[in-house]
Amino acid sequence: MIELAGAESAFDWWGTVGAILVPGAVVGALLGWAEDIRRRGGRPGWRWLALAPLLLAIAPMLLPGALVDFVTQGLGGGAVGVALMAIAGGYAISSRGPVAARAVCGILSGAVLVGLIISPPFIGGADVAVTEPRGLWLAILAGSLGALIIVASSIPHRMPVVANHAL
């Protein structure tokens, strides 16, 4: 957490566990459930699970004073950006829907992912620049986690599996 959010980041029960770890686990569970539904042939309304990453943006807003900070100072906007990056990127790589819409979503999602990768020096200083070992590690960490949530967010957009039970 400190690596991604900066040295002034603090660990506490509500902020770390309630606003980051629990929502992340719930989003992962919802996307895993979407994969289970997809493999069973889909069912009505299951594609709404594509919005699961929005929980990553909503949960931090429940912290005391967070909504005021978000509106007045923009603090916490990164969570909104990550959630939108995941949803747009998942749609872009899903191979479903109009090509132009997927291209726009892919470009926007890719731009946010690049921003996520190159932003640590602006948060933590020169010692986390990608030219330094710690900075390169952090860029790889941020990029791989961003790419992972994009791939996982594509699950609800994919075609359901049609099982052939003929022996």
Instruction: With a cut of 50, list the residues of the chain below it in pLDDT.
Output: 167
Amino acid 46: pLDDT:
92
Amino acid 67: pLDDT:
73
Q: Residue 139 contacts by C-beta under 8 Å, 6 or more apart in sequence?
A: 117, 118, 120, 130
By the 10 Å C-beta count (0-12 exposed, 13-18 middle, 19+ buried), 41 is classed as exposed
Amino acid 29: pLDDT:
97
Say how many C-beta atoms besides its own lie within 10 A of residue 45's C-beta. 8
pLDDT in tens, 62-100: 777 777 766 666 556 678 889 999 999 999 999 899 999
Would you kindly state where each structural domain of the chain is located, as residue ranges? Answer: 11-157
By the 10 Å C-beta count (0-12 exposed, 13-18 middle, 19+ buried), 162 is classed as exposed
* pTM for the model: 0.83
